[in-house]
Amino acid sequence: LAKTTQPISMDSYEGQEVNITCSHNNIATNDYITWYQQFPSQGPRFIIQGYKTKVTNEVASLFIPADRKSSTLSLPRVSLSDTAVYYCLVAPGGGGGNKLTFGTGTQLKVEL
């Protein structure tokens, strides 16, 4: 499974856009990139998944360059409630019992 590297922590203010970048240099051809969000005392929650280029949903956007060796999670106009740990994971997509390996995650702190 591809190893991921992301910043340990980031600080932001309400209303700003936050971009969290994840490096996955040895990503495989059939790997997908998935981001999870975890609040204290809760299990991680799926945010977004992508394979290449750009994916957008109601919560975030995911930008993946052509070489797929990195990806950027973009959170538009963050609020205090976006304070959480964000995990970038890389694993074969399509299900079939694939086990996701969680890296260190990025602790995002949003302030007023």
In the list 58, 66, 94, 112, the residue contacting other proteins (rule: CB under 8 A) is 94
Residues 91, 28: contact at Cβ < 8 Å? no
81 binds other proteins (CB under 8 A): no
Sheet with 45-50: list strands edge to edge.
Answer: 9-13, 106-111, 84-92, 31-38, 45-50
The smaller minimum CB distance to other proteins, of residues 22 and 112, is found at 22
Tell me the C-alpha distance between 58 and 75, whole Å.
10
Integer CA distances (angstroms), 100 to 14, 54, 84, 86, in order: 31, 22, 19, 14
Token pair 């040895």 in the structure block, residue: 26
100 binds other proteins (CB under 8 A): yes
Each residue 13-52 as x (binds other proteins by CB under 8 A) or -, in order, gives: -------------------x-x-x----xxxxxx--x---
7 binds other proteins (CB under 8 A): no
Each residue 57-76 as x (binds other proteins by CB under 8 A) or -, in order, gives: --------------------
Give contact residues for other proteins (rule: CB under 8 A): 32, 34, 36, 41-46, 49, 87, 91-105
